[in-house]
Amino acid sequence: MKEVLKTSRLYLREMSVEDLGFLTALHQDPEVMRYLGPLKSARQVADRLDSIIKNYMLHPGLGIWMACHKEDHLPVGWACLKDLDRTPNIEIGYRLAQKHWGKGYATELARALVDYGFDQMELNEICGVCHPENKGSASVLKKAGLLYRSIATYYKVEVMFFSLKKGLRFGT
């Protein structure tokens, strides 16, 4: 499986059919899905995984990737840099298993994806969205350098919309 990027503790790699069990458990956890809509059936997860794998060829350098520990190679969740709800905007996203919450993994991944998006993919802007009540996710997006812009509608729900233009990121 192709590795996409590394952080100090994690790496992102392309998903494979072997990830189905982990992904199904992740998307059937009520706390993980609290702000993200209904729980997903095993069939829905399998169909989405198939689409994710196919998209690696259609959109090189972008996608939804499995986030794994460097140490033991076990998955902690996933992270993405992909189109925002089928628009030209490119979004950062992440979903972690509950046992990995509160360890800074989402922030670590989001910051790495900002760097990857601007430096490797040469994007001009990166955005992120989260449910207005999801304070943890809003905090991650802010720590990654994204700025709150407005309430917007994506994925058929109202969300907080954050974005960052390349020339305004930290250290530039």
Q: What is the reported pTM?
A: 0.93
Q: Are 46 and 27 in contact (CB under 8 A)?
A: no
Residue 170: what pLDDT?
57
Q: HEC string of 128-146?
A: EEECCCCHHHHHHHHHCCC
Share of the chain above pLDDT 70, in %: 97
Q: Partners of 63 in the beta sheet?
A: 81
Domain 3-168 in CATH 3.40.630.30? The answer is yes
Residue 16: what pLDDT?
96
For 128-161, write each residue's pLDDT tens digit. Answer: 999 999 999 999 999 999 999 999 999 999 999 9
Residue 37: what pLDDT?
82
Task: Domain ranges for the chain, please list them.
Answer: 3-168
Q: Which residue blocks in 42-94 are alpha helix, DSSP H?
A: 42-58
For 15-43, write each residue's pLDDT tens digit. Answer: 999 999 999 999 999 999 999 888 899 99
Q: Which two tokens stand for residue 117?
A: 């998006």
For 66-87, write each residue's pLDDT tens digit. Answer: 999 999 999 999 999 999 999 9
Secondary structure (3-state) at 172:
coil
DSSP strand pairing (10-14 vs 3-6): antiparallel
> How far are the Cα atoms of 7, 30, 43, 125, 170 from residue 81, in angstroms, in the given order?
15, 24, 24, 12, 19
Share of the chain above pLDDT 90, in %: 93
